[in-house]
Structure 1
Amino acid sequence: MRSRGVLVLAGMLAVVLAAGAVTAFSMSRKVRGSPEQASRDYFAAWRDGGLERMSRLVADPPGDFAVQHRALSNGLKVYSVELEPGPLVRDPGGESAYQEFEVTRNLAGRVTWTYRSTLRMGLVDRRWKVLWSPATLHPDLRGPATWKLAETESAPATFLARDKRPLPGDGTLQPYIAALAERFGDSGDSGDSGDDTRGWAVELIQPGAGPRRLAVLGAESPERIRTTLDRTLQSAAEKAVSGKTAAIVAVRPSTGEILAVADRLGGRNAFLGNYPPGSTFKVVTAAALLSDGMSSSGGVDCPGSVVTAQRTIRNSEGLALGGTSLREAFAHSCNTTFARLAVERLRAAKLAEAAGTFGFGGPIAPGIAAVRGSFPEPGNGAELAEAAIGQGRVQASPLVMAMVAAAVADGTWRSPRLVDAKLIRGTGDRPQPSHDVPNAAALRTMMRAVVTDGTAERAGLPSGTAGKTGTAEVGGGEPHAWFVGYRDDLAFAAFVAGGGSGPEVAAPLAARFLRAR
């Protein structure tokens, strides 16, 4: 019995000892502190400039922890720091937390710089610690860096897309943005303002990268100018012309707003270049014929070649339709039909009047320099025959021809614009006023036929597209390829310098643009 009693006592003692061991282990695993306390201590040390205390509150601080803080303070000549922590948020697991905060620094006793960052905390060896990274000091900081406070002029204007988001920082659009900046980019007062327009730039220089300007302080705020450009359409146009000596200009027919400019011609030639428009000009000639009493279903003749006004005119690839309608002659681009009708029926004055209706000869004011379409009145019958098919002395830019297509689509010709009309008027530019285009409905029917059963039938254009192909002879070199058209409230001109065939080159280019948007 005594032996049994000893065993029971020993068992009870073992249980007590085991319970004590569990209690001791539990006490050793107790979490020390809280994220709230870690945050309060860290921000208090930061306000006092206690870099050593801050470092002790950080889990595994880098060896240059103090150096990185001093680099910012010394480089920006920081006089004081104010910290405003926001609400602390614990992550669902309970072992990490974060707290957004606002930091305001007085720089050189002249300006203040305010931005937001995030303090992150976590459990490390059962103790709440700050999980520091360079981004805690500034969100754009990635490691040791140089900070600089530089005196600067007012920040230049920023140009935005129509959705108020930044425009792409590269691509063929940049010469146009530079031209806008030259015209509208002075956001300061043009009068004698002394030092009022000067400010201070905060610059960050990190290894392997050039100086990055994080803020301009004390100067007039940069003006944010909204353009008419659509980022999605711009991207689609850029992709379509990639690797080609080509341009695409897209506009909104109902407003005249320019939605995209992808220009690989060089020198802003989508606006400033003068090129023979070739058969795309037949839109204008057809408009003149309709105004003269013809109908799109009216009978015409389309021989393979014709001599008119002592000038021999031939169709591409010997095309000969014989007796046909004006609509079919337009759809299949019969040079012989339009040249002969211009000489025998229209005369120069009527064709010149129609060209004026589509903006030729009148001023346009998109916000930067742009040439107007040129239609010198033909001096004889041979010149008139050439002019009727967009050759001879007829000249136009891709922008001008995009507006021709837009005028047909909407029934109204409008001057194109890249920025708000009020800004343009402020420069003193005065484009010609908007005006109706007669017989636009009939022209739309004819341009639709080009895509459904004419020269652009095999170009892969999306359903609902209407347009006109053009192959413009330039003398001695490959012809320029054109396609102008519209789809819904989007009009465009696709142009390939020296590209050859409009139906084979420019129309498929337009199809790629439309399908990528």
Structure 2
Amino acid sequence: MNSYPDIRPAAGGRRPRRTARTLTAVAAAVAVAAGGAYAAGLPPFDGAGGPDPQAAAAARAFLADWSAGRLPDAAARTTRPDRAEQVLSSFTTGLDIEKPQLTAEEPRETGDGAVTVPFTARMPVTGLGTWTYTSQLPLREQADGAWKVDWRLSLVHPRLSDTEKFRLEREKDKPVEALDRDGDTLSGATHPSLGPVLARLAGGADGAGPRGAVHLVDRATGKVRRTEASFGRKPATKGDDGPVRTTLDADWQAAAERALAEADGRNAALVALRIDDGEILAVANAPAGGFNRAVSGTYAPGSTWKIVTTSALLLKGAVAPDDVVDCPKYLTVGKRFQNVESSEHPGATFRKDFTESCNTAFIGLRGKLGDGELGEVAKKYFGVGQTWHVGVPSYDGSVPVPRDATEKAASMIGQGRVQANPLIMASVTATAVSGTFHQPSLVAGTTDTTATTPLPPRVVTQLRALMRATVTEGTARVLSDLPGDIGAKTGTAEVSDEQENNGWMVAHRGGVAVACVVEEGVTGGGSAGPVLHSLLSAVPES
């Protein structure tokens, strides 16, 4: 049973028991993202024909293990475990790949009893960017009836072979000198998690960043056969132009890095930005020196996405805060969705559904929106999915049109194929409470090619009231003791059957919007909540 709960921390800080989940027989695709994924199904209304679902399940499990770094487990799902573990390890380690993001597509039969599962690989190369390509997994049924990945080098990458391999080459740049918005010096030494961020500012506002490439080379001679991926570009200007002036605030940045200590050693990321102009005050990552997940990560945003869903419903008058929208324990749309601990709120108002983050209530309103409407609202009003020019490479979000009814239900609560990161969700929060999208920026002079429409004032007023109520009486009560008119939304995003949920929280106070994700944090209130509480406790109201 897959569910997408948005739950508060258990009393006394007790870690909630992990919910057992089983996949339906027709669920046959999975997206495994960097610290965020969605165990979803292929169209849940397929007929009895087609590939054996157990083959697709085996492919899903292999990709999940590979993505999470469980290489012995991934290798054990192949026909050549020893060789598979060796190759997967040398591939990801040798190319400085942080956490593969692997998205499986629909399986197909090959006609000889085998099944092939195509997949897209997004490989974050540390400090450079993401290398994206497609490949496919061949699977065969074994004598004992189990399906295994039929091991071959080409499944890792179509051009990997006995005669050719890949090599990563980096171009070295001099250390970046950067200043915060007040002229104070910033560096990776004083603010450790800025190391990979500042490296991306090597070219100034154009975000040229560090440069490098993944080459396909001859195993015997080392000769480069072709370049598979290039990262960075030469700066638009040459010579020493002096330190890069950023929008960052040294005090906010220091507070953000200290706050991530509340993540208890888990991978986490945080962004704070100004609501009135989108200027980024802080961007922090844990671990500090690795992948810039705050800006380039791809995560299911979970129930924080209900801000966008609520906006879409309010825009067309499909619901009002005082309308009764029942919150049952379960709701089946191709698969069974549920609330935390099977909670229910009979006769609840939509306001109650929002503040308690009732999944079934939101899914029950899916018929009020067209199939592509959620993505259209996200793009038109919030800029999500448009191209952002932040000053460093960024992932700008994706809200695909759902492929089936189950995926549409999941997208209503920030699952399915909806993808975001803390930068996007901080911006979503800023837009929701101001009504106007401002492209986030790290440096002055960035190009802005976005085109958005302001939210109507009535929608903004309702969103602000709902987010405030979530702090005073809902799932974000962890922030209720802080000064200021704080509004917030928690989120818990399902990752995979093998991983704990990611914890999310977004909030706004004064002129600043913040967003935090904690990988495998279990709950938003219990993991991201303390991080934002620490941050907002350390900085003045603004």
Q: TM-score, normalised by structure 2?
A: 0.57
Q: Which runs of 5+ in 1 are unaligned?
A: 1-153, 188-218
Secondary structure of residue in 1 paired with 2:411: helix
Equivalent of residue 359 in structure 2, options 316, 329, 335: 335
Q: Deviations over 1:89-132 (max 9, x none)?
A: xxxxxxxxxxxxxxxxxxxxxxxxxxxxxxxxxxxxxxxxxxxx
Q: Deviations over 1:480-502 (max 9, x none)?
A: 00001111101010110111101
Q: Which amino acid aligns with 1:435?
A: T
The residue number in structure 2 matching 1:444 is 464
8 Å contact kept, 1:158–1:222: no
| 1:236 partnered with 2:261 | no
Per the TM alignment, residue 459 of structure 1 is displaced from its structure 2 partner at its CA by: 4.6
Select between 494-503 and 262-271 the one with higher mean Cα deviation: 262-271
8 Å contact kept, 2:176–2:202: yes
**Residues 210-221 of structure 1 aligned to structure 2 (within 5 Å):** none
| 1:310 partnered with 2:334 | yes
Per the TM alignment, residue 352 of structure 1 is displaced from its structure 2 partner at its CA by: 2.0
The residue number in structure 2 matching 1:349 is 372
**Equivalents in 2 of 1:185, 1:284: separation in Å?**
30
Change in 2 beyond 3 A, CA 1:235/1:390: same
Secondary structure of residue in 1 paired with 2:269: strand
Structure with the larger RCO, 1 or 2 (CA within 8 Å, 6+ apart):
2
**Equivalents in 2 of 1:312, 1:186: separation in Å?**
44
The residue number in structure 1 matching 2:197 is 176
Q: Which amino acid aligns with 2:431?
A: A
Q: Deviations over 1:175-233 (max 9, x none)?
A: 1111001455999xxxxxxxxxxxxxxxxxxxxxxxxxxxxxxx976523311001111
Equivalent of residue 451 in structure 2, options 418, 433, 440: 433
Q: Which runs of 5+ in 2 are unaligned?
A: 1-172, 209-237
8 Å contact kept, 2:201–2:207: no
Q: TM-score, normalised by structure 1?
A: 0.60
8 Å contact kept, 1:157–1:223: no
Per the TM alignment, residue 251 of structure 1 is displaced from its structure 2 partner at its CA by: 0.4
Change in 2 beyond 3 A, CA 1:164/1:300: same
Per the TM alignment, residue 335 of structure 1 is displaced from its structure 2 partner at its CA by: 0.0
Per the TM alignment, residue 460 of structure 1 is displaced from its structure 2 partner at its CA by: 5.2
**Equivalents in 2 of 1:393, 1:495: separation in Å?**
17
CA RMSD of aligned residues (A): 2.2
**Residues 391-402 of structure 1 aligned to structure 2 (within 5 Å):** 391-402=415-426
Secondary structure of residue in 2 paired with 1:406: helix
Which runs of at least 4 in structure 1 moved beyond 3 Å after TM superposition? 154-157, 182-187, 219-222, 458-461
Select between 290-299 and 411-420 the one with higher mean Cα deviation: 290-299
| 1:261 partnered with 2:261 | no
Q: Aligned residues, how many?
A: 325
Q: Deviations over 1:392-447 (max 9, x none)?
A: 11111111111111111221111100001x2x23xxxx431353123111111111
| 1:287 partnered with 2:311 | yes
**Equivalents in 2 of 1:516, 1:282: separation in Å?**
28
**Residues 183-194 of structure 1 aligned to structure 2 (within 5 Å):** 183=204
Equivalent of residue 296 in structure 1, options 312, 321, 329: 321
**Equivalents in 1 of 2:428, 2:382: separation in Å?**
6
The residue number in structure 2 matching 1:471 is 492
**Residues 69-80 of structure 1 aligned to structure 2 (within 5 Å):** none
Change in 2 beyond 3 A, CA 1:186/1:300: closer
| 1:455 partnered with 2:462 | no
Q: Which has the higher helix share?
A: 1
8 Å contact kept, 1:461–1:514: no
The residue number in structure 2 matching 1:376 is 400
Select between 228-237 and 288-297 the one with higher mean Cα deviation: 288-297
Per the TM alignment, residue 461 of structure 1 is displaced from its structure 2 partner at its CA by: 5.3
8 Å contact kept, 2:176–2:201: no
**Equivalents in 2 of 1:364, 1:442: separation in Å?**
27
Secondary structure of residue in 2 paired with 1:232: helix
The residue number in structure 2 matching 1:164 is 183
The residue number in structure 2 matching 1:323 is 347
Q: How many percent of aligned residue pairs carry the same amino acid?
A: 39
**Equivalents in 1 of 2:315, 2:331: separation in Å?**
24
Per the TM alignment, residue 306 of structure 1 is displaced from its structure 2 partner at its CA by: 1.5
Secondary structure of residue in 2 paired with 1:317: helix
**Equivalents in 2 of 1:319, 1:155: separation in Å?**
56
8 Å contact kept, 1:483–1:507: yes
Q: Which amino acid aligns with 1:485?
A: A
Q: Which amino acid aligns with 1:467?
A: A
**Equivalents in 2 of 1:159, 1:330: separation in Å?**
41
Secondary structure of residue in 1 paired with 2:376: helix
8 Å contact kept, 1:412–1:436: yes
Q: Which amino acid aligns with 2:327?
A: C
